[in-house]
Amino acid sequence: MTSHGRWIRMLLALSVGVFCGCKGQHPASPTTAKTQPAKATSADGPRQAVKNMVGALTAGDREAFMDCFTGSADELKAPAVMFDMNEVQKAFRADFIKAYGQAGWDRFQNESPGKANAKLRFPEDGLGNLDKIEFTVAGDAATAKKPDEKQELKLLRQAGVWRVEAASFIPPGADVKKFTDSMGRFAGLIATYRKAIGAKGVKCEDIDYELGRAIAKQMFGLEPREPHRFEIDKL
């Protein structure tokens, strides 16, 4: 897989999932009430700045989330599309649990080695693991990194306020537009297959397979040989 592909996969896992330890279990039901994220202030250190970022993403507060970043207009497109993707995923999960129950969602989230399937990850699942992130501060610059991961977040202190560099979410040397377009297409797939949820004759495992298949084809150019479980355009 190319370096670009590895970075896309890292962000799909889900974007800040690298820094939140997101894997395994998900909440029994989607959160309906927003948790108000803390606003960035001059008293916040780098760790609190990352917590603010994840908290705003979890709460679905776009303004507070984007306020956690610094960068050029093009660089800021990366966290913006990440936010949109997360909102699409949360809506998908809410509908899925409503149609198939928590057991159905758990089956959807289970990985099947060697088979096409989808697995969505949410930053709120790993909020407690933020304390395991190592922060290195050098003046007005800082990095955040888990000991077992190569990728890192970079932060800057501007006018006394720590913010995440939006460029941290862009693969080195990648074309920003192509990269954000790729993430946007991924979000589009989730939105498209959301309409299959609860459709007559469509089981939760069928959506898992077809969404995973569509992601593999669109993002990585892979096409399974198995027949389709349903045709999304015919639902």
pLDDT digits (tens, 9 = 90+) for 132-168: 788 999 999 999 988 877 778 899 999 999 999 999 9
Q: How big is the CA angle at 175 (ends 22 and 154), to the nearest 5 degrees?
A: 45
For strands 141-145 and 153-158, give the pairing.
Answer: antiparallel
* Bridge partners of residue 134, in order along the sequence: 145
Give the pLDDT confidence score for residue 194 in this predicted structure.
Answer: 97
Name every residue whose Cβ is closer than 8 Å to that of residue 21 and which is 6 or more positions away in sequence.
126, 129, 132, 146
Residue 116 vs residue 7, higher pLDDT: 116
pLDDT tier at 6, thresholds 50, 70, 90:
very low
Beta bridge partners of 156: 141, 163
Q: In angstroms, rounded to a whole number, what is the distance separating the alpha carbons of residues 70 and 79? A: 10
Q: Which spans in the chain are helix H?
A: 3-11, 17-20, 46-59, 62-66, 77-109, 176-194, 204-220
Task: Evaluate whether 171 touches 4 at the Cβ level (below 8 Å).
Answer: yes
d(CA 70, CA 84): 18
The answer to whether the beta carbons of residues 135 and 142 sit under 8 Å apart is yes
> pLDDT tens digits, residue range 110-129?
876 556 688 887 766 655 57
Confidence (pLDDT) at 11: 42
Any bridge partners for residue 73, and if so which? none
Could you report the per-residue pLDDT of 192-235, keeping only the tens digit for each? 999 999 999 999 999 999 999 998 888 788 888 889 999 999 99
